[in-house]
Amino acid sequence: MTTTDVTGGTGKSVPTGGANPVDVPLDAIEAETEGVTRGTLVLRRFLRNKLALTGLVVLALLYAVSLTSPLFAPWAYDEYDYLSFLQPPSASHWFGTTQIGEDVFAQTMRGLQRSLTIGLLTAAISIVIASVVGACAGYFGGWVDRGLMWIVDLLLVLPSFLIIAVISPALRGSSWILFVLLLGLFAWMITARILRGMTLTLREREFVKAARFMGAPSGLIIRRHILPNMASLMIIDVTITVGSTILLETGLSYFGFGVQPPDVSLGTLIRDGSTAALTTPWLFLFAGGLLVVSVLAVNFIGDGLRDALDPNARRGRNVREDEDPEVEVERA
């Protein structure tokens, strides 16, 4: 059974499945007559995409560095250096310091870690809920559909910003994970509606009927035929959600919800630093740069995954056309 986890959709969950080693040399693949499952094929196609791989490596590195930085950085994010206020980058403060002597490097790393986690986790939660709700509503129809869509409509008319604002004070002091959950809980409805619509059309397609006539259970049909055929949209949605959540979190922090001082996120750093962007650029440039880099990385991974999943994408295919002239004819 393929285990194409597009539902995970955080951009870093690479489909797995099949036992074949993935580091087969490219030219060895062509002659193969042994079938491999979709999971393996998709992984191969993904690994062939240099840009996507770069994105994956960059994202992993950012995460690793931000997580391990307390081990090697000279300052912690909540420490104050009372001897240097608003200093540009130097040997002891790699990214400089703030007005009150905080180390910008330590803060940026802390913020990066927070923001990435919030962005990726929210996107993951939202796409999982959206795809489960959308696909089930569309596929099963009837009262399942009506019930789920009623919930979606209800959540859509509730002003999510306001609700988060109202609930946040109650959560103050408790884990920030709760905050992520809250964000995810309000981010999935529109996607779910779109996915439901797509499922309605997919459900009537003959290949789904064919699977039903084979006796495939509904869960399997949704996993195997419905979700992969909506993967492009889901991936785009995830990449957008990652970026927008990081920014939304900033907005919330501004009003005093979300990540609260002394804790920091990229968003709060950028907000605080951008007021004096021209005179003390180090306060904001590093945070801003890292935000751009991480969103770009997520986008590249998303593109790569999309191409890998979509058999019609040009990228992801390799040179085998040259070796097999018939393919050329068939496609023409």
Q: Which residues lie near another protein (CB under 8 A)?
A: 1-2, 29-38, 41, 205-207, 209-211, 213-216, 220, 224-225, 228-229, 231, 309-312, 324, 326-332
Instruction: For another protein, give the closer residue by CB, 219 or 261.
Output: 219
Q: How far is the CB of 328 from another protein (least distance, A)?
A: 6
> Which residues are CB-neighbours of 159 under 8 A, at least 6 positions away?
none
Q: How far is the CB of 120 from another protein (least distance, A)?
A: 25
Q: Using an 8 Å Cβ cutoff, are 56 and 297 in contact?
A: yes
Q: How far is the CB of 215 from another protein (least distance, A)?
A: 4
Q: How far is the CB of 289 from another protein (least distance, A)?
A: 36
Q: How far is the CB of 210 from another protein (least distance, A)?
A: 5
Instruction: For another protein, give the closer residue by CB, 150 or 254.
Output: 150
Instruction: For another protein, give the closer residue by CB, 8 or 88.
Output: 8
Work out the number of other CB atoms within 10 angstroms of the CB of residue 93: 23
Instruction: For another protein, give the closer residue by CB, 278 or 314.
Output: 314
Q: How far is the CB of 24 from another protein (least distance, A)?
A: 12
Instruction: For another protein, give the closer residue by CB, 84 or 232.
Output: 232
Query: DSSP H helical segments within the chain, as ranges?
Result: 26-30, 38-48, 50-72, 104-140, 142-157, 160-171, 176-185, 189-203, 206-214, 218-221, 227-229, 231-254, 266-274, 282-309, 320-323, 325-331
Look at the alpha carbons of 101, 105, 110, 114 in this order and tell me if their dihedral is positive or negative.
positive
**How many whole angstroms separate alpha carbon 107 and alpha carbon 77?**
5
Instruction: For another protein, give the closer residue by CB, 2 or 160.
Output: 2
Q: Which phi and psi (to 5°) does residue 37 adopt?
A: -75, 170
Q: Using an 8 Å Cβ cutoff, are 10 and 123 in contact?
A: yes
- To which residue do tokens 């006796």 refer? 215
